[in-house]
């Protein structure tokens, strides 16, 4: 494991002309540093800037020079706890700002725009380090109209000042962000700090660090963020933590360079405000309402099962079957049984290796069949095309996608001699078939009966 370089900024003591004071940000930095040093020992290098030292130039320089020391195999962490702000987007910003507003961190002497921050972090990532940013501040505007904030909570939001300079590097850089972001809230939400265990902390920081400790060193960023999100919602939090980019490969790496690889599933099981839930619902192709019965998810690697009791748009409420999960953890799961019938697959190849490649990755979305009598309403033909490629065809021979290449995996993977004919790795084919199945299920979803049916011309 490489070195963890952590540059951490926390601001409580804002000057009156910049923003209202906060009281939990320095505590956030201290608690995060404690976790890092527990996890990394001598392999952690930490630099902090607090209150008056956390100027825009100090933060920029810390990212550029200190985090810039990280190289391939290292982790570079930027942590910020303080106010966030926003202003009306202009020029090139309007091309990428979905809300029409441009966000910024509020350092002790003014704003550091998110575009500038992103450019600095991506510059560090360009040297080969894994770059992660944790931001516990507001990125909201319209949400500031809330007037019933509980007395013990403080919003980490500061209105923009007319004297603040226009941000540098406002135009978005081409390509996808090269760093992983764990943010306290969505763009249209406030983030809060309050009392937790006798100390002031950001609600997100407290939940994130607690989730990381409970999950252990092998949990991924995605799993820790999901568990933290569930904690925030269970406590009545008004903010929704965000992982971005959600599909980034780094999201499934161990949190802060933990112990090693861990199981990765299609979805996560976590304890939410309504009990145990899996982040898979009707939008993912599951049947809802009375048709939800029979849907089950299995925990990756150990066979434990949860069964759906209700399927919502974005998640399923589930009950564990003969086991008790830890409410502080998020578990990687995949569907093991579905209320909807599986798509059927016939394999047409010159030898048994193609069929073995497809059947080696079990999924309830697919059922391999041989006889035309067993073909389902949704049926795929997997046909050997030569040169280690296969075609995915419909029943009538329509090609769904370009030819897929079969990878080769070592022949001795299953204990066969090393000089035996290599078997095929069919993961890409199964992933493609599962994706096509979900797409067709979503396409064929019908709406509930409505009085407006047949009334629209």
81-122 pLDDT per residue, tens: 999 988 766 666 555 556 667 788 999 999 998 888 999 999
Range of the domain at 292: 267-337
Q: Is 91 among the domain residues?
A: yes
Q: Is 260 among the domain residues?
A: no
pLDDT bin (cut points 50, 70, 90) of residue 2 is confident
Q: Is 408 among the domain residues?
A: yes
Q: Which of 288, 311, 337 represents a domain boundary (last residue)?
A: 337
Q: Is 399 among the domain residues?
A: yes
Q: How many CB atoms lie within 10 A of CB 95?
A: 9
Q: Is 154 among the domain residues?
A: yes
Q: Is 84 among the domain residues?
A: yes
Q: Which of 337, 371, 386 represents a domain boundary (last residue)?
A: 337
Query: What pLDDT is attached to residue 169?
Result: 44
Give the model confidence (pLDDT) of 208-257 as tens digits.
999 998 887 778 899 899 999 999 988 777 788 989 886 667 888 888 86
Q: What percent of the chain has pLDDT over 90?
A: 37
62 and 14 within one domain: yes
315 and 224 within one domain: no
Q: Identify the CA nearest to 138 among candidates 86, 213, 94.
A: 86
Q: Identify the CA nearest to 266 among candidates 253, 278, 277.
A: 278
| Residue labelled with tokens 């145990």 | 276
Give the model confidence (pLDDT) of 87-98 as tens digits.
766 666 555 556
Q: Does the model's pTM come out above 0.85?
A: no
Q: Which residues of 224-252 are buried (b: 16+ CB within 10 A; e: fewer)?
A: bbbbbbbbbbeeebbbebbbeeeebebbb
Q: Identify the CA nearest to 362 among candidates 304, 427, 279, 442.
A: 427
406 and 330 within one domain: no
Domains: count for the chain: 3
Q: Is 258 among the domain residues?
A: no
357 and 243 within one domain: no
Greater confidence, 24 or 354? 24
Between CA 446 and CA 288 the distance in angstroms is 11
242 and 177 within one domain: yes
pLDDT bin (cut points 50, 70, 90) of residue 168 is very low
148 and 38 within one domain: yes
414 and 368 within one domain: yes
Q: Is 347 among the domain residues?
A: yes
314 and 201 within one domain: no
DSSP letter string over 120-147?
Answer: HHHHHHTTT-EEEEEEES---SGGGG--
């Amino acid at each position: 494991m490489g070195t963890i370089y952590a540059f951490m900024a926390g601001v409580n003591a804002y000057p009156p002309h910049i923003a209202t004071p906060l009281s939990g940000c320095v505590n956030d930095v201290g608690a995060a540093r404690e976790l890092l040093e527990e996890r990394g020992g001598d392999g952690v290098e930490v630099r902090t800037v607090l209150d008056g030292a956390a100027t825009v130039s100090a933060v920029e320089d810390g990212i550029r020079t200190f985090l810039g020391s990280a190289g391939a195999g290292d982790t570079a962490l930027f942590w910020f706890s303080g106010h966030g702000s926003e202003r009306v987007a202009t020029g090139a910003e309007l091309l990428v700002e979905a809300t029409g507003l441009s966000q910024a961190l509020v350092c002790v002497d003014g704003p550091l725009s998110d575009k500038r921050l992103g450019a600095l972090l991506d510059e560090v990532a360009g040297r080969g380090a894994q770059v992660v940013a944790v931001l516990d501040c507001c990125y909201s505007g319209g949400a500031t109209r809330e007037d019933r904030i509980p007395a013990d909570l403080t919003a980490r939001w500061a209105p923009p000042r007319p004297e603040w300079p226009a941000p540098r590097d406002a135009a978005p850089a081409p390509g996808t962000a090269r760093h992983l972001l764990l943010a306290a809230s969505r763009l249209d939400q406030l983030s809060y700090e309050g009392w937790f265990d006798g100390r002031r902390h950001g609600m997100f920081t407290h939940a994130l660090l607690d989730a990381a400790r409970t999950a252990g060193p092998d949990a991924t960023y995605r799993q820790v963020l999901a568990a933290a999100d569930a904690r925030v919602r269970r406590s009545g939090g008004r903010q929704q933590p965000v992982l971005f980019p959600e599909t980034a490969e780094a999201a499934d790496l161990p949190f802060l360079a933990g112990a090693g690889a861990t199981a990765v599933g299609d979805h996560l099981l976590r304890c939410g405000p309504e009990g145990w839930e899996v982040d898979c619902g009707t939008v993912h192709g599951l049947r809802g309402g009375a048709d939800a019965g029979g849907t089950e998810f299995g925990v990756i690697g150990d066979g434990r099962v949860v069964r759906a009791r209700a399927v919502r748009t974005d998640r399923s409420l589930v009950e564990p079957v003969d086991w008790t999960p830890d409410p502080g953890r998020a578990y990687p799961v995949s569907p093991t049984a579905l209320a909807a019938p599986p798509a059927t697959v016939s394999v047409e190849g010159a030898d048994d290796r193609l069929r073995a490649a497809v059947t080696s990755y079990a999924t309830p979305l697919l059922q391999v069949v041989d006889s035309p009598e067993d073909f389902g309403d949704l049926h795929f033909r997997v046909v050997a095309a030569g040169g280690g490629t296969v075609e995915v065809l419909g029943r009538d021979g329509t090609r769904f996608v370009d030819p897929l290449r079969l990878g080769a995996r070592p022949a001795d993977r299953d204990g066969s001699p090393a000089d035996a004919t290599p078997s095929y790795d069919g993961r890409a084919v199964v992933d493609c078939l599962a994706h096509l199945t979900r797409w067709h299920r979503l396409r064929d979803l019908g709406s509930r009966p409505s009085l407006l049916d047949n009334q629209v011309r």
